[in-house]
Amino acid sequence: MSKSSKVAAGGVVVGIALIWFIGFWPALLVMVGVPVAAYLMLDKTQRRRLQRITRKELGR
């Protein structure tokens, strides 16, 4: 199993656990809110760099 498939499987397990323990809407808020908050915390130059690179290069 590749590293990216392990991460995807872990994300599915965590998502199901969140839905099970705290409900659908709060879990959805957490799953969407955490990446958005992380993106907004980046510096302006880091955001520009992140937009320039492709999705394939993000895993390096």
Q: Residue 57: what pLDDT? A: 65
Closest C-alpha to 2, from 46, 27, 23, 10: 10
For residue 28, the enclosing domain spans 3-58
Structurally, the chain folds into a number of domains equal to 1
- The DSSP symbol for 43 reads -
pLDDT in tens, 15-25: 899 889 999 99
Radius of gyration of the chain (CA): 14
Residue 53, Ramachandran bin (φ over 0: left; ψ between -120 and 50: alpha; else beta): beta
Q: Could you tell me the pLDDT band of residue 56, with boundaries at 50, 70 and 90?
A: low
Q: Is the pTM here over 0.75, yes or no?
A: no
pLDDT at residue 41 tops 90: yes
